[in-house]
Chains A and B, each alone.
Chain A
Amino acid sequence: KAGVTQTPRYLIKTRGQQVTLSCSPISGHRSVSWYQQTPGQGLQFLFEYFSETQRNKGNFPGRFSGRQFSNSRSEMNVSTLELGDSALYLCASRRLAGEAETQYFGPGTRLLVL
């Protein structure tokens, strides 16, 4: 079974621009979560989508948004980029949304904001 895929893998943007990242979950998985990973803060939860609905959101500003499509693919968008948004953005999928369900991570998109 193919794993979680994320595109693009690397991205360079300048301050003020916006960016859209894409995540395709493992086939049959309906939940997609997004995380930001930085050296200083570690892995931090952004949001989770299940069946096209946002279930939970982390403590990030409104510039960070996401959506999920009917085929479970998800996108996240960051508007008005800041230097501090430079990070590895990881997407994780799981079959259903519950504590017995393991999240499987994609390879990540490394975003550099100049």
Chain B
Amino acid sequence: EDKVVQSPLSLVVHEGDTVTLNCSYEVTNFRSLLWYKQEKKAPTFLFMLTSSGIEKKSGRLSSILDKKELFSILNITATQTGDSAVYLCAVYTGTASKLTFGTGTRLQVTL
């Protein structure tokens, strides 16, 4: 059965800190990995990663995939209170019909 594991489960940091969120996966027929941010409602898309070693960046957020070691990290620099959310990692496998999600990392940024 496909499995996506995120760590840590939750994290509390001070505004301005840098955080690294981890996502590892054990799946058959990997296609791509996606990161989402979920506040109180729908997950919003952050990144899609398909190739190893190529960093994707968007402002203070960046992510990279290692297909040999089967993991991805999401970095957030200079955190702000608005970054407080659950960060979800998900993987497309097989026919890329379904996303298998991890349980998420709950990030709280305090003043």
What residues of chain A have their CB less than 8 Å away from a CB belonging to chain B?
A: 4, 33, 35, 42-45, 48, 55-56, 58, 90, 92, 97-108
Which of A48, A56, A97, A105 lies in contact with B44, CB distance below 8 A? A105
B42→A103 contact, CB < 8 A: no
A56→B101 contact, CB < 8 A: no
Which of A48, A97, A105 lies in contact with B43, CB distance below 8 A? A105
B102→A100 contact, CB < 8 A: no
A102→B97 contact, CB < 8 A: no
Q: Size range of the interface on B?
A: 20 to 34
Q: Give A97 to B90 CA distance when docked, in angstroms.
A: 16
Q: Give A55 to B48 CA distance when docked, in angstroms.
A: 22
| Residues 6-47 of B contacting A (Cβ, < 8 Å) | 31-32, 34, 36, 41-45
A100 cross-chain contacts in B, Cβ below 8 A: 32, 48, 50
B42 cross-chain contacts in A, Cβ below 8 A: 4, 90, 105-108
Q: Give A75 to B49 CA distance when docked, in angstroms.
A: 30
A92 cross-chain contacts in B, Cβ below 8 A: 99
Q: What would be 29 A-B contacts, judged by CB atoms less than 8 Å apart?
A: A4-B42, A33-B98, A33-B99, A42-B104, A43-B43, A43-B88, A44-B101, A48-B97, A56-B97, A56-B98, A97-B97, A99-B32, A99-B50, A99-B92, A99-B96, A100-B32, A100-B50, A102-B34, A102-B45, A102-B48, A103-B34, A103-B45, A105-B36, A105-B42, A105-B44, A106-B42, A107-B41, A107-B42, A108-B41
